[in-house]
Amino acid sequence: MPGLTWSKEAMQERLEPLPNRLRVAFGLSCCERMFPNYVAFKREVQWGDEQPLRKALDELWKYVEGETLPHTQVSNLINECESVAPDSESFSALLTGSAQDACFAICSVLDYILQENPERIAQTSAFAIDTIDLYVQELENMAPSSPGLEERIRLHPLMQSEIARQYADLELLAGYPDLGLLKAHWRAPGKSNIEL
């Protein structure tokens, strides 16, 4: 089959050899591409607060650069991020799911600090994939029961771009790059993973 494929299990295997801080850096790369989706959701529905999310991302970057992040602070950051996640029953906007995924992805990286379980970073990667999955279905008016739905989503340019980016980021991290340069390159990208 043409095109790149993604699975949470394969992503977890690729994360296993990386040290903690590089795993977190990978999670942050995914989260930074999702953060603008939350901002766009807030702008559209006039609800939410991106500041707890930005604060958590900034604290995680400090961790990547060598600072310690006490567990009590991590727990507080998780609570703050969860408190600004929109309830899908309260909002019908297209970006509701994308905003939720941004919040939960950041929480997964924070949870990794507490558990040091690579599955939490793989879950962050999964949230980035899920964002595109739902967005593409809506964007292309794909019915949930349409034949070949998953394959059409997998081959969509947005999905292929995200999968390629995740693999490229892992390759880069495997070479133990300058984390300060990565932060400058990955933090606050111009466009989100759904090109907002």
- Ordered by where they begin, the domains of the chain are 8-175 (1.20.1590.10)
* Lookup: tokens for 87: 């309830």
- Give 96-109 pLDDT, tens digit per residue: 999 999 999 999 99
pLDDT at 2: 83
Residue ranges for the chain with pLDDT beneath 50: none
Write out the DSSP string of 113-143.
Answer: HHH--HHHHHHHHHHHHHHHHHHHHHHTT--
What pTM does this model have?
0.95
Percent of the chain at pLDDT > 90 equals 88
pLDDT at 176: 87
Q: Which amino acid is at 182?
A: L
- Give 105-127 pLDDT, tens digit per residue: 999 999 999 999 999 999 999 99
